[in-house]
């Protein structure tokens, strides 16, 4: 049986692939790309049908982080010209969340920069969770992403009404110290475990395009499987100017699809989400990613702008998929706002993007601003 048939077979039986098989997916050629996507699509459809889950990010506190994660525009010493603000009030966060829910999101992700929350921070976020619960009941999932957890905090968030907690492993244990010196891989894995033990659904993912090897990507995918997380966001590095990884445009759309497929074959029945960097790295191949992943973020990211929420919904419909949960009407608006990330329209799908091209569009709307959010 050839590689892809074996991986589909294992995916349908929930038998893990071998490391060699996962590495072989990353080594496939562009000629084989559609076969890889089709095979991953069989596993995706077996567990998630044609549903796409929409998630919506609300950045509760932006920038000014004391940690030094090299990929992050909010890191210590970042010169990226991002929005910087402290905690949103519950009504401000609710207004942002409402926009995402109106756009079709079924999970709201409440994110704050920082090493980890104080107990007072957990209280603040609990107030925001309560406000979202009051407004939307059980129809919307709430995920918190507040950094490294201390004992007892996960349970308090659960009691407040949170459903899930996100904390990404980001890369392999072997290379973690290359991307961050202020905390380590074990700290991150420990927080994912604490989330589960506190009754929260663990969400943890990776960032591709930071100079890692295929082995690193396979390591982190298997580590996430081992941690038994419920959802895996796959980020593609957005190399902000003013951060150590500025100018690191390593990924091609084809490579991004192979990475997503590898994650699907390893984390077979786990929610796989195309996360940050979708527009800038997959570009015109974004719809193919829906055949592999079953979840995306709607609208903007934490500190950069995504494509208009309307374009996300149209892409899902055009590709023959359906939004999970109640299918929302496309949000009002002309659908043209803020599209600074989808490339310049020239044919260059098989090349890594060059830093001199269209710069990353720093988010200037939504949470923390006077302007309406993109959803």
Positions touching ligand SF4 (CB under 6 A) are: 65, 67, 69, 72, 74-75, 113, 115, 147
Burial class of residue 183, CB neighbours in 10 A (0-12, 13-18, 19+): middle
**Phi, psi at 141, each rounded to 5°:** -85, 145
- Catalytic residue check, 65: yes
Lookup: tokens for 77:
């010493």
To ligand SF4, the closest distance from the beta carbon of 59 in angstroms equals: 10
Catalytic residue among 203, 267, 353, 363: 203
To ligand SF4, the closest distance from the beta carbon of 137 in angstroms equals: 30
Q: For the chain, what percentages of helix, strand and coil (3-state, to nearest 5) are there?
A: 40, 15, 45
> What is the enclosing helix (H) or strand (E) of 45?
helix 33-48
For residue 203, say whether it is annotated as part of any ligand binding site.
yes
**In this complex, which beta carbon is closest to ligand SF4, that of residue 78 or of residue 341?**
78
**In this complex, which beta carbon is closest to ligand SF4, that of residue 69 or of residue 144?**
69
For residue 267, say whether it is annotated as part of any ligand binding site.
no
Catalytic residue among 44, 65, 188, 310: 65
Residue with tokens 């894995």: 189
Its sign, for the CA torsion 225, 230, 234, 240, is negative
Residues contacting 235, CB < 8 A, separation 6+: 168, 205, 206, 207, 208, 275, 276, 277
**In this complex, which beta carbon is closest to ligand SF4, that of residue 180 or of residue 290?**
180
**In this complex, which beta carbon is closest to ligand SF4, that of residue 72 or of residue 200?**
72
For residue 143, say whether it is annotated as part of any ligand binding site.
yes
Residue with tokens 């592999």: 292
Catalytic residue among 44, 188, 258, 273: 273
To ligand SF4, the closest distance from the beta carbon of 147 in angstroms equals: 5
**103 by DSSP, 3-state: which?**
coil
* Distance (Å, whole) CA 25 – CA 288: 16
Catalytic residue among 75, 107, 109, 188: 109
**In this complex, which beta carbon is closest to ligand SF4, that of residue 5 or of residue 181?**
181
- Catalytic residue check, 143: yes
For residue 180, say whether it is annotated as part of any ligand binding site.
no
Residues contacting 372, CB < 8 A, separation 6+: 99, 365, 366
**In this complex, which beta carbon is closest to ligand SF4, that of residue 13 or of residue 115?**
115
51 half-sphere exposure, CB direction, 13 A CA radius: 16
To ligand SF4, the closest distance from the beta carbon of 115 in angstroms equals: 6
Q: How far apart are the first and last CA of the chain?
A: 44
- Catalytic residue check, 109: yes
**67 by DSSP, 3-state: which?**
coil
To ligand SF4, the closest distance from the beta carbon of 74 in angstroms equals: 4
To ligand SF4, the closest distance from the beta carbon of 166 in angstroms equals: 11
SS (H, E, C) 246-302: CCCCCCCHHHHHHHHHHHHHHCCCCEEEECCCHHHHHHHHHHHHCCCCCEEECCCCC
Residue 46's nearest CA partner among 17, 7, 19, 20 is 7
- Catalytic residue check, 180: no
To ligand SF4, the closest distance from the beta carbon of 167 in angstroms equals: 9
- Quick one: how far is CA 242 from the chain centroid? 22
**In this complex, which beta carbon is closest to ligand SF4, that of residue 132 or of residue 207?**
207
Using the CB atoms, write b or e for 101-121: b if 16+ within 10 Å: bbbbbbbbbbbbbbebbeeeb
Known binding site: residues?
65, 69, 72, 109, 143, 203, 273
Binding-site sequence positions for [2Fe-2S] cluster: 109, 143, 203, 273
- Binding site for [4Fe-4S] cluster, by residue number, is 65, 69, 72
What are the catalytic residues?
65, 69, 72, 109, 143, 203, 273
């Amino acid at each position: 049986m050839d590689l892809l048939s074996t991986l589909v077979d294992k995916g349908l039986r929930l038998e893990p692939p071998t490391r060699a098989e996962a590495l072989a997916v990353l080594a496939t050629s562009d000629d084989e790309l559609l076969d890889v996507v089709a095979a991953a699509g069989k596993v995706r459809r077996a567990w998630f049908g044609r549903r796409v889950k929409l998630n919506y990010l609300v950045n509760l506190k932006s920038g000014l982080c004391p940690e030094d994660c090299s990929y992050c525009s909010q890191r210590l010493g970042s010169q990226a010209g991002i929005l910087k603000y402290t905690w949103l009030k519950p009504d401000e966060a609710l207004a942002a969340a409402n926009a995402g829910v109106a756009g079709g999101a079924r999970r709201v992700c409440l994110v704050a920069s920082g090493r980890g929350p104080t107990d007072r921070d957990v209280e603040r976020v609990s107030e925001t969770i309560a406000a979202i619960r009051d407004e939307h009941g059980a129809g919307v999932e709430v995920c918190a992403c507040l950094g490294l957890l201390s004992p007892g905090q996960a349970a308090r968030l659960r009691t407040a009404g949170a459903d899930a907690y996100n904390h990404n492993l980001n890369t392999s244990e072997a290379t973690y110290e290359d991307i961050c010196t202020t905390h380590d891989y074990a700290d991150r894995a420990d927080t994912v475990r604490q989330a589960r033990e506190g009754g929260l659904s663990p969400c943890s993912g990776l960032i591709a395009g930071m100079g890692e090897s295929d082995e690193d990507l396979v390591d982190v995918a298997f580590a996430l499987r081992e941690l038994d997380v419920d959802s895996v966001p796959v980020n593609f590095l957005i190399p902000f100017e003013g951060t150590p990884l500025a100018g690191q445009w390593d990924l091609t759309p084809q490579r991004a699809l192979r990475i997503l497929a590898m994650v699907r074959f390893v984390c077979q029945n786990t929610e796989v989400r195309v996360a940050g960097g979708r527009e800038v790295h997959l570009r015109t191949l974004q719809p193919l990613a829906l055949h592999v992943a079953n979840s995306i973020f709607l609208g903007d990211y934490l500190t950069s702008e995504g494509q208009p929420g309307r374009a996300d919904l149209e892409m899902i419909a055009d590709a023959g998929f359906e939004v999970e949960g109640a299918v929302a009407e496309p949000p009002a608006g002309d659908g043209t706002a803020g599209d600074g990330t989808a490339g310049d329209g020239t044919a260059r799908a098989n090349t890594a993007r060059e830093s001199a091209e269209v710069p990353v569009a720093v988010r200037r709307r939504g949470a923390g601003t006077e302007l309406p959010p993109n959803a």
